[in-house]
Amino acid sequence: MKLRPDEREVRGAWREVGGKIEADESCKRIEELTQRHLHEVARDSSGWVVLYQDPSDGRYWELTYVDGGAHGGGPPSLANLSEEEVREKYGSV
């Protein structure tokens, strides 16, 4: 369940099953990671973009919703950010 050292992005998707929209396994994995493994360290002013740090290796992960026009912002995405990207976007954390 943890993030592998070679991973750089986990992108969720929604799929239609029996006329209903369901989250795929990546969405479920992102939810599990953000609730039970990663530590929140910052949020943007909207509250929708959240920066997490992986306690296992210190890497930073940004949670976004890639389809802003969809209900709830669309499916979630976790992307690995470098320390430089974190400083540029969030300042010191």
pLDDT tens digits, residue range 36-81? Answer: 999 999 999 888 899 999 999 999 999 999 776 655 668 999 999 9
C-alpha to C-alpha distance for 60 and 72, rounded to whole angstroms: 24
Residue 66 forms beta bridges with which residues? none
Tell me, yes or no, whether 50 lies in a domain: yes
Number of domains observed in the structure of the chain: 1
C-alpha to C-alpha distance for 32 and 52, rounded to whole angstroms: 13
Tell me, yes or no, whether 26 lies in a domain: yes
Tell me, yes or no, whether 32 lies in a domain: yes
Pick from 2-11, 13-22, 30-39, 48-57: least confident: 13-22
Tell me, yes or no, whether 2 lies in a domain: no
pLDDT higher than threshold 90 for residue 6: yes
Q: Residue 28: in which H helix or E strand, if any?
A: helix 25-36
Domain hosting 49: range is: 9-90
Tell me, yes or no, whether 3 lies in a domain: no
Tell me, yes or no, whether 4 lies in a domain: no
